[in-house]
Amino acid sequence: MSELPESVRIREVGPRDGFQNEPEVIATADKIRLIELLGRTGLRRIEVTSFVRPDVIPQLADAEEVLEAVRLPDPVSVSVLIPNERGLERALAHRDRFHEINGFLSASETHNQANVGRSVDESLAGLRVTFGRACAEGLRCEGVISTSFGCPYEGHVPAQRVLEIADALVQGGCEEVGFGDTTGMANPLQVREFFGAARDALPGVELTAHFHNTRGQGLANVLAALEAGVESFESSFGELGGCPVPAGATGNIATEDLISMLHEMGIQTGIDLGAVIAASRAAQEVLGRPLGSHVLSAGPVVWR
Ligand code: ZN
């Protein structure tokens, strides 16, 4: 087995990826309280909201309010998801409140059309403008490629195609590229092979794995990514988040499950597992339903 990293970086995406997929709109004050709880866990990267159209995603219509009100410790890098130039324009009115943006597209044409009504090339052209503008504003840019490991409409997505899109994002100004297993189709062998190729194809670029636990393979895929040298992951507290296709599918791997596994393996995150569990418990109370995370129900491993 290849050598595993000593430490990894984790971006918490629950306040965006999770909250946006809740059937009901969470009260702004509750969002702020939960994000601030996450800010006290040692997490150094938090995606707090998204500047998508409020009529399309009413769950995040309070992006401005959340961004302005939330108080996070200085070392926390705050990121927001930006769908297009209009979204960036809205976000830039609050330029001093965040450090990074995340722009996204899908690797497969059909998923991209279904998701944003554009071809992949049209999305790339738009993202280049958005990232160019964001870079000029001193913002760090992450490009996220959905359906990197498979598409619910098209099936197999060639790794070569994903890497071409990643390269275009890097040319457009991205320092980091996230690869999303949007509907949980990835398997560990595929992941290890993919990230091995990605490291060769994209030297000097931060490669981030964004796995969903749709079919229970999220953490197995994390291990495979670690073995391929990946040191950056995205996850969601409480396993919040889902995806409209396939209907009812569970979402991101849970931050507390991820941290628990990494710490048990001797890989540092700088994050307090108990504090993340407390934040997930608070989210559970706000939502009034049990969340999917394993460590939230079982508790941390205790060696007696
Ligand atoms: Zn996700």
184 Cα–ligand 1 center, Å? 10
248 Cα–ligand 1 center, Å? 14
Q: What are phi and psi of 234, to 5 degrees?
A: -120, 140
Spatial separation of the C-alpha atoms in residues 15 and 22, rounded to whole Å: 11
Q: Which residues of 225-261 are buried (b: 16+ CB within 10 A; e: fewer)?
A: bbbbbbbbbbbbbbbbbbbeeeeebbbbbbbbbbbbb
Taking residue 55's Cβ as centre, other Cβ atoms within 10 Å add up to 7
124 Cα–ligand 1 center, Å? 20
Q: What share of the chain in percent tops pLDDT 90?
A: 92
135 Cα–ligand 1 center, Å? 24
Give the pLDDT confidence score for residue 244 in this predicted structure.
Answer: 52
pLDDT at residue 111 greater than cutoff 70: yes
Spatial separation of the C-alpha atoms in residues 293 and 283, rounded to whole Å: 12
List the chain domain ranges.
9-298
The pLDDT-based confidence of 23 (bands split at 50, 70, 90) is: confident
**Domain spanning 9-298, CATH class:** alpha beta
Tell me the residue type at 184: G
Spatial separation of the C-alpha atoms in residues 116 and 123, rounded to whole Å: 8
Q: 197, 159 in Cβ contact below 8 A?
A: yes
First to last CA, the chain: 29
Question: What is the average pLDDT value for the chain, to the nearest integer?
Answer: 95
Task: Give the pLDDT confidence of 127-154 residue by residue, as tens digits.
Answer: 999 999 999 999 999 999 999 999 999 9
Q: So which residues are the catalytic ones?
A: 243
Spatial separation of the C-alpha atoms in residues 127 and 145, rounded to whole Å: 12
Q: 149, 108 in Cβ contact below 8 A?
A: no
Task: Give the pLDDT confidence of 31-85 residue by residue, as tens digits.
Answer: 999 999 999 999 999 999 999 999 989 999 999 999 999 999 999 999 999 999 9
245 Cα–ligand 1 center, Å? 12
For tokens 């390269």, the residue is 167
Give the pLDDT confidence score for residue 22 in this predicted structure.
Answer: 87
Q: Residue range 277-294: average pLDDT?
A: 95
Q: Which residues of 200-210 are buried (b: 16+ CB within 10 A; e: fewer)?
A: ebbeebbbbbb
Task: Give the pLDDT confidence of 238-282 residue by residue, as tens digits.
Answer: 999 865 555 556 789 999 999 999 999 999 999 999 999 999 999
Burial class (CB in 10 A: 0-12, 13-18, 19+), 23: exposed
* Strand 77-81 versus strand 100-106 pairing type: parallel
Listed residue (104, 179, 101) closest to 140, CA to CA: 101
159 Cα–ligand 1 center, Å? 19
22 Cα–ligand 1 center, Å? 13
HSE-up of residue 63 (Cα within 13 Å, Cβ side): 30
DSSP 67: H
293 Cα–ligand 1 center, Å? 14
Residue 178: C-alpha distances to residues 11, 148, 235, 287 (Å): 11, 9, 12, 28
